[in-house]
Chains A and B, each alone.
Chain A
Amino acid sequence: MKLLFTQRRTTLELQILIAFLFCASLMALDYQSRLGTVRYVTNTLVAPLQWTAHIPVVTGQWFSHRFATQRQLAATNAKLRHELFVLRTRQQKFATLVEENNRLRALMQGSSREDERVLVAELVAVSADPFKHHLILNKGKKHGVYEGQPVIDAFGVMGQVISVGAASSRVLLISDHSHAIPVQVNRNGMRGIVAGTGNLSQLSLLHIPNTTDLEVGDYLVTSGLGQRFPADYPVGEVMSIEQAPGQPFLNVVVAPSAKLDRSRQVLLVWMEDDMPLPADAETISTVGADDAAGETVAEEAAS
């Protein structure tokens, strides 16, 4: 039994003081990104929780897969065949274009583009906090994933890896408040920064002077500046340009190319040579049609 007048009050105060100092120092250290190993350990520890929370979604998908009708399957099959046909046709031209581009670059004493390595990763969970645009992927340190690694899907840039666990990693989407990505306008090469707005379907192009040559429908691609994202991947398309009187810059709204809220499979891209590559990484080949790689991607996508 507890006595009425015990020391509990003071210990409670002492506890909160210790907790405050502990948490404050943790936050300060994490803010300076000095908690790499601690983050790694906790990410690995909570990964099973994330998988468990995701079980209902996976089961739902399994059921819809399992009980898809013949007609649905046939329709998807036809659509995919058509898409494959179109892409193959485009690819034929692409190979010669790459060759020509490399020859021209050689003529101008420029360096030729290097291929990027990619690995297919699957979405395990989406951030529960609606104000944080994070994804959890099922690939981690075991597979060679590193912090700052770019993530793309079939349509464009999705984001970058911000923390890694043993077999999971957390991706910050380009639509998050705290994300910005260096881009250039495909039409005229004008450089800029696209920042997230916290809205999945809208990004904003920052600090564009009123007199800039920019049009609605302009296509934005990564510029490769900042050395985090590989160059020339699509980021988005200019949706609207608004000139606010009295403001030094235009309000430019950009629609992201990547299907930020729909992609279940994403690609992790290795662009640094010194990073260890996983055994099952594939090369995005820029020369010729690489059937083997294409089939592996398709197989992974089907499973």
Chain B
Amino acid sequence: MRATTRQRLMIAVTMLLALLASIFPLPDLLAPYRPQWVALVVSFWAMVMPQRVSIGTAVFMGLLLDSVNGALFGQHALGLALIAYVIGKFYQRLILFSAWQQALWIFTLFFMVQIFYLWVQSFAGGVPNLWQYFMPCVTSALLWGLVMPAIPLQRTRRHN
């Protein structure tokens, strides 16, 4: 019981930090390369603790992200839900991959979701036709590949 409350607390804290990191002011030069922190944290927990973090959490975090970013309400919610769905479906396979294999998955997933965001934004206003728009996917995947090996996971007891 204590373990679960600790897990919940850890999930909540990391989510909150991710949300803060995604609106933390960055210098103009770095701003286009900001990793998609919330999406990364949601993907991580959806893979490691699929029983705790799934589509519901993703939608909730997405709505927060939408109101923090001033995006169309539901845009990031649906994007994160799609990510959580794919990861929730393949978590047994993903958890066994090496970090860089996972990073490739993350890149592909985030890239597709970014295309979806672009599509939504084309309804709500202008569309930035810049290669920089897709840089967050690259930095997110790089971050995943670099950080994952450093996180001690209990791969044998992943159902907890």
Contacts and interface: CB of A to CB of B under 8 A. Distances in A.
B81 A20 contact: yes
Interface stretch (B4-12, B98-106, B122-130, B144-152): B122-130
A22 to B, nearest CB: 7
B124 A23 contact: no
B77 to A, nearest CB: 5
B22 interface: yes
Q: Classify the secondary structure of B's interface with A.
A: helix
Nearest to A41: B67
The prevalent SS among residues of A at the interface is helix
Contacts of B24: 53, 56, 128
B70 A177 contact: no
Contact of B78 (A19, A50, A132, A170): A19
A129 B23 CA distance: 8
Q: Which of B58, B74, B85 has the most CB of A within 10 A?
A: B74
Contacts of B34: 128
A54 B128 CA distance: 26
A90 interface: no
B77 A52 contact: no
Contacts of B89: 9, 12
A27 B78 contact: yes
Contacts of B32: 130
A19 B59 contact: yes
Categorize the interface residue count of chain A.
35 or more
B74 A26 contact: yes
Contact of A49 (B68, B70, B88, B133): B68
Interface stretch (A30-38, A75-83, A223-231, A286-294): A30-38
A50 B125 contact: no
B54 A52 contact: no
A127 B69 contact: yes
B63 interface: yes
B32 to A, nearest CB: 5
A294 B75 CA distance: 44
Contacts of A178: 124-126
Contacts of B126: 176-178, 196, 198
A42 interface: yes
Contacts of B123: 31
Nearest to A12: B88
B31 to A, nearest CB: 4
Contacts of B47: none
Interface in B110-145: 120, 123-128, 130, 132-133
Nearest to B20: A53
Interface in A29-80: 29-31, 35, 38-39, 42-43, 45-46, 49-50, 52-54, 56-57
Contacts of B75: 23, 27
A24 interface: yes
Q: Name the 7 nearest CB pairs between A and B, nearest first.
A: A177-B126, A178-B125, A26-B74, A23-B78, A42-B67, A30-B73, A23-B74
28 contacts: A2-B51, A15-B55, A19-B59, A19-B78, A22-B59, A23-B74, A23-B77, A24-B78, A27-B73, A39-B67, A46-B68, A49-B19, A49-B68, A50-B23, A56-B24, A125-B25, A128-B25, A128-B26, A130-B32, A131-B128, A134-B70, A176-B125, A176-B126, A177-B127, A178-B124, A196-B126, A198-B126, A198-B128
Given A12-B54, A12-B85, 18 more contacts: A12-B88, A15-B54, A16-B82, A20-B81, A23-B62, A24-B78, A27-B74, A30-B73, A39-B67, A39-B73, A49-B23, A53-B23, A54-B25, A127-B69, A127-B70, A129-B71, A130-B28, A198-B126
